[in-house]
Structure 1
Amino acid sequence: MAVNRKTRGAARIVRKAAFSIGVVFALAGPAAQAETLADALASAYQNSGLLDQNRALLRAADEDVAGAVAALRPILNFTANVTRNFGTSRSTGNVGGIVSGLDSTQADMGLVASLLLYDGGAASLDVEAAKETVLATRQRLVSVEQQILLRAVVAYLSVYANRDAVQLRQNNLRLLSEELRAAQDRFEVGEVTRTDVAQAEASLAQARSGLATAQGDLQQAIEEYQNVIGRQPGQIAPPPQLPRLEGDVEAARALAVRTHPDLQEAQHRVAASEINIQRAESALKPTISAVGSLGITDDLESRDYSNSGTIGIELSQPIYRGGALSSTIRRAIAARDAELGNLYEVRKTVSQDVGNAYAALAARRASLSASEERIRAARIAFRGVREEATLGARTTLDVLDAEQELLDAETARISDEANLYIAAYGVLDATGRLTAQNLNLGVQQYDPTAYYNLAKDAPTTTSEQGRQLDRVLRSLQRN
């Protein structure tokens, strides 16, 4: 009688275990109307405040070019003032003297114009340095874009993996509950000891703790997803195929050294610092400007008025400023040397990051392959134990132990798969190709040249080009 009860209990557990395995396998199946990784990346690109911040910084750099260009153009100022004079004067030429009032009201208006003719190339160098800074800032924007998209990849895969992990642990908890009931039944008929029941209770408590931890990890992943992607995650589709990567790490390293945005930014900053040295040296040269003025003075208490005008050429050149100009040149040279040092370090860092990314990718591939092999072996073991249990050669605990091993292998596989995708996109980031353009995201991409082309000529607000700039700025404002 005890043997029959034992066999029926094992068969019941086997049926539940087989059902749970089916649920585990179904987790990897495609979900209808699920959000894809491309959808998540597109949303992160559109909703990133950090991208908006750096786009605004780029527009500010564009305006620095406009400001430098404006220095080469004529400057026209309007002046106006009204002056009230008052007082008295006394003449002692006559007996007793004559006292007269000095009260008068006078209005002055004028136009003052100046045009820089020559300054040793300083103003033109300012324009060139500002352009190099714009190019560096554009590359900084690309680097930030890569950071945002890589963070979005991690957020997406974290939700995907943690949801599956929670479901696996829920199944595990149900199985251990059955194991505890089976152990209690067998204890009642004297097949096991109280120690066996206590072990089953401890395993169940551990499973509950593991489920609570997995649920906490999932909630944190959801919070990160909402922060990065801009909305709560719905159904998450399984990851797509891995992105195409260079098979040779040295080829990838050579590509990164040519195209990585961090390295290009550093190169443009070196170029700007070289120009700044020339700019500092040009301050020692003479400055020639054409100046002119028109003015009118009107005595408001009479009909008297006068007007005048001047035109001329001004020449100035510093002779001695206490060593300030020489100090400025030395400072510019030191700043250039600092940028050269930064360029050297960035080149080494980019090269190292590529090597690290490929090493991580190889490790993740090996780990996933090992997990697949572990699943294959655990599945064979589970099927064998299940068949033996139906014949009475295995206990219910043996079946559940085999089931637990298979579930653990599935959990490890989910984590390894997510880590493999993160490593693959990490390679794209290390080589400078994790951008909306290279990923072909279905999103309106930000054109860094559109604003620059409108602003570089320093249009006034009343010109047509200036009005276009105003419209562009309004369109960029978040609601």
Structure 2
Amino acid sequence: MPGHRPRIRVAALALLALCANPGQASDLYQTYLKAVDHDMAYAAAQQRQQAAAEKAPQGLATLLPHLSLESGAAWVDREHSGGARRDKDNSNAYALVLVQPLLRWQNVIDHAQGKAQATAGEIELLAARQDLMLRVADTYFELLLAEDQLHTSREQVRSLGQQLDKAQRFRREGSGTENEVQRIQASYDLAQAEQIAAGNALRLQQQAMARLIGNDPGELARLDDQVAFAGPQPARMEAWTEQARAQNLKVQAAEVRRLIAEQEVEKQQAGHLPTLDLVAAHGRFASVGGSLYDVTVPEEKYTQTVVGVQLSVPLYAGGGTQSRTREARALHGAAEDELEDARREADFMARQAYLNLTGGLSQYQALQQALRSSQSNLQITTHAFEAGARISSDVVDAEQQVTRTTLQLARQRYAILQAQLRLMAASGSLGDDNLKRLSALLTRPAQG
């Protein structure tokens, strides 16, 4: 890798499932493997990497001998002024020519650039694979959340339907009011509309997943409701940002591009240097059927071998070499700026993911407490309603609060996992093994 930096080792996040067996199979990693075979953006990245890999042998080829077979033929008809003499002849030749560069500094730099371009292609393929992991995980968790929302909407419609039946019965019996019935009816109608929207959202998410993997995702493994999360280790933002500035894949790619631009400046400056080649040729030459003063010249044939060196000293090329050097220097400056921009972007992404993760964990704990409180409130309200101290719409409000908090908890669990993946991606440590470990948490079958 550029600069040969020692890799900073930062521990991955520890995630412990309380009620899930980590050894169980998970569909998340399998879904990602399907996307590897189907996603066109990743397929294009693979093709670009294969193209970049050819830069190394192309650079090496400029240092190796070039062998060619050359031939030619000529017909000459010369008529001298006054018509006193007319000559005709034809000749042909062919030769095997070998050229071995001995001193061409441009070619040496070409070879180094070719290897660097191949390395850049490998890094960019890793970045594309990492991007695919994030896209699959985002789509996977969004699909699970859409399933949660539809499941919640169905439960709300069912529960509100039961409460509406009770309110209508109480009104007929004289213990309820029309206003209470209408309040529950309004909530029931809204829940039905939300159920329709949730169904549409789920179908869209299923299509998004099918676009990634090429088929219907079917039933997905889910995250257990009782999963417990631990924060990032080390619990220091600067450790993650330092690694991100050094090991982020976009930073590594930018470092290679800067190196290539630096080599390009040197290569263009080498245009002022002499070149020296070894040249060897072996061929057969013939002059056939010529005439001189109307006298036929006999055919002449001979074989010749030539070995020598060819020195070329550039003196003036119209200012082109200086112009190309200035261009290369400007592009090197741009590569320097792009590298610093990549470092700043990696730093920001690591900070953002770290804060999203740590803040998300705190919010998750608060939502857990909010769920316990709303469940307790529902229990108290239900008992008060049964004792005649509260009306049925109060029970409906308490149930909806529990439902909303439960959905927020589910959303927050997925957000924590997404923040974990983005923190690892920003720091350059996201790989298949990390995705497998996270995937092992997804064990519970999908909701019906």
Same fold (TM over 0.5): yes
Compared with structure 1, are the counterparts of its residues 437 and 370 closer, same or farther at alpha carbon in structure 2 (3 Å cutoff)? closer
Compared with structure 1, are the counterparts of its residues 46 and 99 closer, same or farther at alpha carbon in structure 2 (3 Å cutoff)? closer
Say whether the 8 Å CA contact 2:183–2:393 is kept in structure 1. no
- Among 259, 266, 269, the alignment partner of 1:281 is 269
Q: Does 1:78 align with 2:74?
A: no
- Among 165, 169, 183, the alignment partner of 1:181 is 165
Q: Which residue of 2 aligns with 1:427?
A: 423
Q: How does 1:225-374 map to 2 (within 5 A)?
A: 225-239=209-223, 245-297=233-285, 305-374=301-370
TM-score (norm 2): 0.81
| Distance in 1 separating the partners of 2:112 and 2:403 | 63
Q: Find the residue that maps to 1:281 and give its secondary structure.
A: helix
Say whether the 8 Å CA contact 1:34–1:234 is kept in structure 2. no
Q: Deviations over 1:368-425 (max 9, x none)?
A: 2222112101111222222333333333333333222211211111111111211121
Compared with structure 1, are the counterparts of its residues 70 and 177 closer, same or farther at alpha carbon in structure 2 (3 Å cutoff)? same
| Distance in 2 separating the partners of 1:390 and 1:71 | 90
| Distance in 2 separating the partners of 1:156 and 1:209 | 25
| Distance in 2 separating the partners of 1:268 and 1:88 | 61
AA aligned to 1:379 is Q
Q: Deviations over 1:21-54 (max 9, x none)?
A: xxxxxxx999xx9743233333334443323322
Q: Which residue of 1 aligns with 2:124?
A: 140
Q: Deviations over 1:59-111 (max 9, x none)?
A: 2222112111111111111134566x597979988xxx9999x5x88654322
Deviation of 1:256 (Å): 1.8
| Distance in 1 separating the partners of 2:80 and 2:264 | 62
Say whether the 8 Å CA contact 1:41–1:441 is kept in structure 2. no
Q: Find the residue that maps to 1:321 and give its secondary structure.
A: coil
Q: Find the residue that maps to 1:283 and give its secondary structure.
A: helix
Deviation of 1:184 (Å): 2.7
5+ residue gaps in structure 2?
Answer: 1-18, 290-297, 439-448
| Distance in 1 separating the partners of 2:210 and 2:314 | 59
Say whether the 8 Å CA contact 1:172–1:207 is kept in structure 2. yes
Say whether the 8 Å CA contact 2:98–2:280 is kept in structure 1. yes
AA aligned to 2:48 is L
| Distance in 2 separating the partners of 1:137 and 1:213 | 44
| Distance in 1 separating the partners of 2:101 and 2:238 | 52
Deviation of 1:322 (Å): 1.8
| Distance in 1 separating the partners of 2:347 and 2:333 | 21
| Distance in 1 separating the partners of 2:201 and 2:20 | 22
Compared with structure 1, are the counterparts of its residues 34 and 172 closer, same or farther at alpha carbon in structure 2 (3 Å cutoff)? farther
Q: Does 1:155 align with 2:139?
A: yes
AA aligned to 1:59 is Q
| Distance in 2 separating the partners of 1:437 and 1:319 | 58
Say whether the 8 Å CA contact 1:51–1:145 is kept in structure 2. yes
Q: Does 1:113 align with 2:109?
A: no
| Higher mean C-alpha deviation, range 290-299 or range 128-137 | 290-299
Deviation of 1:198 (Å): 2.9
| Distance in 1 separating the partners of 2:46 and 2:25 | 31
Compared with structure 1, are the counterparts of its residues 132 and 413 closer, same or farther at alpha carbon in structure 2 (3 Å cutoff)? same
Say whether the 8 Å CA contact 1:172–1:404 is kept in structure 2. yes
TM-score (norm 1): 0.76
Say whether the 8 Å CA contact 2:54–2:118 is kept in structure 1. no
Say whether the 8 Å CA contact 2:56–2:115 is kept in structure 1. yes
Q: Which residue of 2 aligns with 1:376?
A: 372
Q: Higher strand fraction: Structure 1 or Structure 2?
A: 2
Compared with structure 1, are the counterparts of its residues 153 and 341 closer, same or farther at alpha carbon in structure 2 (3 Å cutoff)? same
- Among 30, 39, 42, the alignment partner of 2:33 is 42
Q: Which residue of 2 aligns with 1:457?
A: none
| Distance in 1 separating the partners of 2:31 and 2:248 | 24
| Distance in 2 separating the partners of 1:99 and 1:237 | 95
| Higher mean C-alpha deviation, range 256-265 or range 305-314 | 305-314
Compared with structure 1, are the counterparts of its residues 336 and 171 closer, same or farther at alpha carbon in structure 2 (3 Å cutoff)? same
| Distance in 2 separating the partners of 1:43 and 1:321 | 56
Deviation of 1:297 (Å): 4.2
Q: Which residue of 1 aligns with 2:446?
A: none
Compared with structure 1, are the counterparts of its residues 317 and 393 closer, same or farther at alpha carbon in structure 2 (3 Å cutoff)? same
Q: Find the residue that maps to 2:64 and give its secondary structure.
A: coil
5+ residue gaps in structure 1?
Answer: 1-27, 443-479
Q: Find the residue that maps to 2:220 and give its secondary structure.
A: coil
